[in-house]
Amino acid sequence: MAAALAAQALAKRYGRVQALQGVDLEVGEGELVGLLGPNGAGKSTLVKIACGLVRPTSGKAWVSGARAGSSTARASMGYLAELFRFPGWMSADELLQLHQRLAGSRGGKEERTRLLELVALADARDRRVEGMSKGMQQRLGIAQALVGSPKILLLDEPTSALDPVGRRTVRELLEELQSRGVSVLLNSHLLSEVELVCDRVVILLGGKVVEEGTTRELAHPRGVEIETDQGVQVFPGAKRDDTPRLVAEQVAAGREVYGVRVLSSTLEEVYLEAVQGETS
């Protein structure tokens, strides 16, 4: 079965700037992949190539088995751009209706209602876009991307304008989509969000993939922390397998053990290590 999104040796050059340098990437069916990297790493370019907005200099990309940018590929995906704007004079319902027509969706009013409820905009159905907050527009953007029940969703910074409640709504939405088998490529700077919802993480730096794997695979062991009646003790070199031995030693030494924690690096630490402090 074809991957929801596959990129092979993808390269893109904008004049003198090499935005992508031979990126290989795969997003499986129903997989939620987080795309991380500093500004200028090539994340948006990668997403835009997948959408057919940008033509690669070399390499190939496929969406649901069809060449990226082809009509078939575009029909099977939903996209929310990082910088987007909808016509201010349109209501939320009219906007979704427009995208239903363009996507060839036959979901009708039922689909629009469901999508607006999904992004907590049911009450704003008839409200014009110009009267919405940025967060509401971003949630409407996600609803727009979901029109026509796409097989894969490409989201470029979908939570950048959202407050914590809005972020949680989106996170729950992503989890629900995942349970329905929808694949998602999530381009985000919010590491905590990515860590919470993504199956796998890809870190880009200077147009190349520098790290790739599940958050567990990427995390490095950082020791074991044991809380005893004499305080918290950290064993920096220790691994998970060392835990029973360390606890036994503490007990043998007459200490009372209250808690044990295997320490591993957070996604933030993995990310910072991968990008070596680069910000743009």
Partner 1 sequence: MITIIRYAIGEAVRRKVFLVVIVLTAIFLGLEALANHYIFNDLNNIGVPEDVHVDTRTFAATFVIGMSMFATLFLGIVLAVFLTLGAVSGDAERGLLQPLVVRPIGRRRMLFARFLAAAGVCSVYVFVVYIVSVVITGTEGDWWPQDIVTPGLLLAGAVVVMTALSLLGSVFLGATANGIAIFMLFIAGLVAGLLGSIAHALGSHTISHWANVAAYALPFEALYQDALKQIAAGTTGFTSFLLRLGPFGGAYNSGWSVRLWAAGYLVVVGILAMTAFARRDL
Positions touching partner 1 (CB under 8 A) are: 14, 48, 51-55, 71-72, 74-75, 77, 79-81, 83-87, 89, 98-99, 101-104, 141, 144
Nearer to partner 1, 105 or 250 (CB): 105
Q: What are phi and psi of 39, to 5 degrees?
A: -60, 135
Contacts of 147 (CB under 8 A, 6+ apart): 78, 96, 99, 100, 103, 105, 107, 111, 115
Rounded Cα–Cα distance for residues 95 and 226 (Å): 56
Q: How far is the CB of 70 from partner 1 (least distance, A)?
A: 9
Q: How far is the CB of 83 from partner 1 (least distance, A)?
A: 4
Nearer to partner 1, 148 or 275 (CB): 148
Nearer to partner 1, 3 or 77 (CB): 77
Of 72, 114, 74, the residue nearest 93 (C-alpha)? 114
Q: How far is the CB of 66 from partner 1 (least distance, A)?
A: 11
Nearer to partner 1, 98 or 210 (CB): 98
Nearer to partner 1, 104 or 277 (CB): 104
Answer for the pair 10, 22: CB distance below 8 angstroms, yes or no.
Answer: yes
Nearer to partner 1, 82 or 269 (CB): 82
Rounded Cα–Cα distance for residues 207 and 42 (Å): 5
Q: How far is the CB of 76 from partner 1 (least distance, A)?
A: 9
Q: How far is the CB of 102 from partner 1 (least distance, A)?
A: 4
Q: Which residue has the tokens 């910000």?
A: 279
Q: How far is the CB of 5 from partner 1 (least distance, A)?
A: 14
Rounded Cα–Cα distance for residues 92 and 29 (Å): 30
Answer for the pair 34, 212: CB distance below 8 angstroms, yes or no.
Answer: no
Q: How far is the CB of 57 from partner 1 (least distance, A)?
A: 10
Contacts of 108 (CB under 8 A, 6+ apart): 100
Q: How far is the CB of 130 from partner 1 (least distance, A)?
A: 11
Amino acid identity for residue 19 in this structure: A
Nearer to partner 1, 85 or 216 (CB): 85
Q: Hey, what long-range contacts does 48-52 have (CB within 8 A, 24 or more apart)?
A: 49/7, 49/10, 49/12, 49/20, 50/5, 50/7, 50/77, 50/154, 50/185, 51/77, 51/79, 51/154
Nearer to partner 1, 162 or 191 (CB): 162
Q: What are phi and psi of 217, to 5 degrees?
A: -65, -35
